[in-house]
A and B are shown apart, each in its own frame.
Chain A
């Protein structure tokens, strides 16, 4: 090899070094808050919510299910009615994974040490590997990514893979070594993807900034986050929801109607818990379990009461025992049929509550909250 063209003193080596450095710098610039490697809108929105000066002492953290399933104003009013004035805030945001829930809660508690109670979504969707939130999980910090790569494995690659493995549980796999290579490779890929996300975030933010004419580079200019719609609704009734006659609202309703036709009221109620996945299979739920434990430890360390919140689906999956208990209590409280949350009008779409459903759920949660506080 020619000394003048030694690989590590060449222009190519300098190019590679500069490239890696620029990638790292853009990563830091894009995720300067704490290198949380999540490029969607949610970080910016959460940042705004977390830094809110409102003196709330009850906090809700979860995905869109909780975002639409809990109305803080209704929760607060019901608690006040029962003689315990509180102020709650709902930090939930669409697509929030367990990892992101942990980070959000941690940030909130840093900024608001007076918090007494945290509700963290732990429902069917947020724990299910065939749901994109978890199946396409974005690791939150490089150390998380690396620790999952090293300690291995939660094994589901995507929804289809999940279904395949669920239908045909592995018994004897003569090609097990190859499967293992595949898993290692998947985690390595995810880590690499996380590390390469800096340039993407910067450029995406710039494009968004230009497209939205200087408005926030993160907020999407359509429902459900069009600022003018949110402002108008907040001014009118104190909270925001997707409007039922918008395309999203109509689409969701159509889904509910279809599901109602497919699964009868009686069938939904008769379904049992036994088919549901839980944490019993350690590898599959490694990430969600890890973060559930972290959330519990965090709340314990900060002296915060922790409630895992299990959000319903419209006749999509059987109820968990905790849900059955909750709905029964709800029925007693409001003289409703115990299946109140399995009615069509309680759902905006098959995965999210409507205003009516959310109002019932929020009141019930507040009642539980006050009851638990008195014990």
Chain B
């Protein structure tokens, strides 16, 4: 069940009403939320619920054993079991096809041509597996590090893993942030619900009115036939692609955070206006925060972090960004994208003096603008590889990216008959305007006005918005991060 569907609106209203009706019954409330989460997930595939149950059961047992064990060897063994189980499932479902395709291609190149294109099974990627696997991993690792006590009951733990607002596309919630909220008594907060509803409405509007329009009218045509649009079109297309991904994913996070807020839970922010970043490392502190901090805490730092030498730092950074790229998809283009960011971040960190937020703010406006433009274009450039996806996904893959790169470098002219639809450009301009202007100018003012409305006027505006969104949902495009 996608957030941008009428089914979800109806589903959520029912879940919300029953949830607060059960506010005093802790167990019944959690059971209700867990069942609702399973129904929500069954919208994609009921069969893959089994995977969630298996993964949860494994980590519930491992987490408990790690906590109870005194012997460091036993603790390590249980942790290893958890890691192997979770990463094994993720590896099999997400990377098996990729692995098999590469092996068969290598065998074919080695002369065994009968292996060309041979893939024994075509594994379907279960929705959200990358997200919930990382959640359950953080649970056992945090227990192992003695930073977290195990969940009080299997139901609590299953709710943590399957909590529907963040189940299929994040944010990646850490047990250390979520489980304590289950212990706190449910407190109905009218203001929080109001904020949550507003956040949901904003997220859906962002997705349907901006991200989808940019994708449909600007990005898709340019990435499909870049030669028709020339170098200028490629630049606009990559800017559009970057904005589309940001708006799409942050919209999902908005709805997830808003829905959780309505249910009385607080999820961490996942984006912080990333295109205001003045360096690549700052960009990663503002973009997909739950993922970048996960990799920082569970991969980069354990590998040694910045390390004792530049070489060690380079190794750790590239290793982390390689995995970050691979996390996004089973394709060499994603790996390349991750490695590019690894190089950008490394170069930025090594050759530039780190600046505190106060120092960054104190820079003259033109310097801030130049830095932001540089970072934005660097990330947009990497998007050239990311957006083209893999050939297996029906995209043009790295070949498509190279063609676009060639057009850029040679200042390729556009076909006079080809033009980008105004709707795409207008949506991009609106998105840029909202993103780059201070939050208090548009966003906060709008929220304050909406909060001040009586409930009837709020409901009326929501109905108008719902109708508008439905009328604009031409493509019924799914959220982009589902595929990861």
Contacts and interface: CB of A to CB of B under 8 A. Distances in A.
B463 A14 contact: no
Interface in B265-305: none
Interface residues of A, number: 40
Contacts of B28: none
B11 interface: yes
A185 B197 contact: no
A200 B21 contact: no
A178 B21 CA distance: 29
A16 B193 CA distance: 11
Q: Is the interface of B mostly helix, strand, loop or mixed?
A: helix
Contacts of A179: 46-47
B462 A203 contact: no
A193 B190 CA distance: 28
B42 A185 contact: yes
A283 interface: no
B197 A1 contact: no
Interface in B28-71: 39, 42-43, 45-47, 49-50
A5 B188 contact: yes
A18 B461 CA distance: 11
B11 to A, nearest CB: 7
A202 interface: yes
Interface string B179-202: 000000011111001100100000
Q: How large is the interface on B (under 10, 10 to 19, 20 to 34, 35 or more residues)?
A: 35 or more
Given A1-B186, A7-B21, A181 B7 contact: no
A1 B187 contact: yes
Contacts of B123: none
A193 B8 CA distance: 9
A144 B59 CA distance: 44
B45 A15 contact: no
A81 interface: no
A204 B9 CA distance: 19
A196 B9 contact: yes
Contact of A5 (B24, B190, B466): B190
Nearest to A199: B467
A207 B471 CA distance: 8
Contact of B467 (A5, A182, A204): A204
B46 A185 contact: yes
Nearest to A15: B455
A189 interface: yes
Contacts of A258: none
Interface of A: 1-2, 5-8, 10-12, 14-23, 26, 175, 178-179, 181-182, 185, 188-189, 192-193, 195-197, 199-204, 207
Interface of B: 1, 5-7, 9-11, 13, 16-17, 20-21, 23-24, 39, 42-43, 45-47, 49-50, 186-190, 193-194, 197, 262, 455-456, 458-460, 462-464, 466-468, 470-471
